[in-house]
Amino acid sequence: MNGMKLFKITSIFCLFFSFSVFAECAPSMPKALFVSVIQEPQVLSSRQAITELIDFAKKSQNKVLFVQIYRENKAWFPSKVGDSEPYDTCFKAVSEDPLELLIKKAHAEGIQVHAWLNLMSLSANENAPLLKKYGTEILTRNIQEKHTLQDYKIDDQYFLEPGDLRVREELATMVGEVVSRYPKLDGVQFDYIRYPDMHPYYGHTPMNEKRFKEAAGVKVILEESRVWKQWKRDQVTDLLKELAQKARAIHPGIQVSTTGLVSYDRAYFEGFQDWRSWLRHGPVDFVTLMCYTKDIEQFKRQIQDAERRTDGLKRVNIAVGAYSLLETPDIFKKEFKLCEGSGARSCVTFHYGSLVENPELAR
């Protein structure tokens, strides 16, 4: 049978079946899913939930799963850095390491698994082991006087200071725990690798100020100083380099990525997160940009901005915020189609739990 006849028969076959079957026939760009621990029930809490995730990913042609296993200094893996109580609970329910099981099932279907790690945010966890070990000195802060632990909260979260060497050592140890424990992981994605924002000004921890003053040869920190701003940006980048080096030293072939704020100007000037430089100079293999908006025109602008800053989005994932579009599946559909037409590396849905909550989004 020649190629043209085979093409026609295949096309007719697809058209005579349901849309879901047709979707499997039609070629499409790679898709990926964030799998968050905030959904109930948690995917890692039962064999059934793990199986349902893999089945959904296979049917919907999602080729990559970013599975959250570290959040607010809690660990869904054996850890001496984070609180492993979530892992212990899930292990008992599944009767084996749930992430190992998920990786095995995913790989059997040709699906990659990347460990998704929330780094600088402790969320609102006042019992975080790192906080109990080091106290408030490791929390980034402004110059306003602090009286209670709650005074350190930023957007209802406690943020670690990227310029604190103790923080770097602990997070590098934690990354080492993950990569050593799960040698078949395809990648690690670092989330919340940034300062919380610019206003009010953060970075005024004792260690960070001391290190900056010694490096810059100054006695007073001026908030609008380019040197001070670049110092903070360098602390985020240096932390990323250490974590990436740690992961690759254990598993040379592992993919290393980060999430990124949009627009690039917001990331660079407010979060002190230079993801364009990270792509150019190699600490990461790709970046997943969090294009979470209900405004379709803004979504377009975010993609256009990213395209201007990068090499045609070849190493950029575009993440669509399904969590905020639960009541507007039509907007989710339009944004996802815009992503598919953008030429990005992949379209990523944030997150799987939202698709479970509203089947219309899943369709």
Per residue in 125-173, pLDDT (tens digit) is 999 999 999 999 999 999 999 999 999 999 999 999 999 999 999 999 9
Confidence check: pLDDT of 273 > 90 = yes
Instruction: Report the run of H or E that residue 288 belongs to, with start and end.
Output: strand 286-291
Confidence check: pLDDT of 312 > 50 = yes
Confidence check: pLDDT of 16 > 90 = no
Coil, helix or strand for 268?
helix
Higher pLDDT, 263 or 5: 263
At residue 4 the predicted structure's pLDDT band, cuts being 50, 70 and 90, is very low
Q: Cα–Cα distance between 356 and 362 in angstroms, integer?
A: 7
How confident is the model at residue 9, as a pLDDT? 37
Buried b / exposed e across 333-351, counting CB within 10 Å, b at 16+? ebbbebbbebebbbbbbbb
Verify cis geometry, omega within 30 degrees of 0, for the bond prior to 200. yes
Q: Cα–Cα distance between 267 and 336 in angstroms, integer?
A: 23
How confident is the model at residue 199, as a pLDDT? 86
177-204 pLDDT, tens digit each? 999 999 999 999 999 999 998 889 999 9
Q: Average of pLDDT values for 80-91?
A: 98
Confidence check: pLDDT of 26 > 90 = no
Confidence check: pLDDT of 11 > 90 = no
Q: Average of pLDDT values for 75-101?
A: 98
Q: Average of pLDDT values for 115-134?
A: 98
How confident is the model at residue 60, as a pLDDT? 95
How confident is the model at residue 311, as a pLDDT? 83
Q: Cα–Cα distance between 271 and 269 in angstroms, integer?
A: 6
Higher pLDDT, 85 or 8: 85
Q: Average of pLDDT values for 316-322?
A: 98
Tell me the pTM. 0.91
Give me 224's structure tokens. 């609008």
How confident is the model at residue 197, as a pLDDT? 85
Q: Average of pLDDT values for 347-363?
A: 96
Q: What does the longest C-alpha to C-alpha distance in the chain come to? A: 80
Q: What is the CATH number of domain 28-362?
A: 3.20.20.80
How confident is the model at residue 238, as a pLDDT? 98
How confident is the model at residue 2, as a pLDDT? 42
Confidence check: pLDDT of 300 > 80 = yes
Contact predicate 259/306, CB 8 Å:
no
Domain ranges of the chain: 28-362
At residue 310 the predicted structure's pLDDT band, cuts being 50, 70 and 90, is very high
Residues 6+ apart with CB under 8 A from 147: none
% of the chain at pLDDT higher than 70: 92
CA atoms within 13 A on the CB side of 202: 29
Confidence check: pLDDT of 64 > 70 = yes
How confident is the model at residue 28, as a pLDDT? 61
Q: How far is CA 284 from the centre of its chain?
A: 13
% of the chain at pLDDT higher than 90: 90
Confidence check: pLDDT of 7 > 60 = no
Q: Cα–Cα distance between 55 and 24 in angstroms, integer?
A: 14
**Which amino acid, residue 84?**
S
213-249 pLDDT, tens digit each? 999 999 999 999 999 999 999 999 999 999 999 999 9
At residue 29 the predicted structure's pLDDT band, cuts being 50, 70 and 90, is confident
Mean pLDDT computed over every residue of the chain: 92
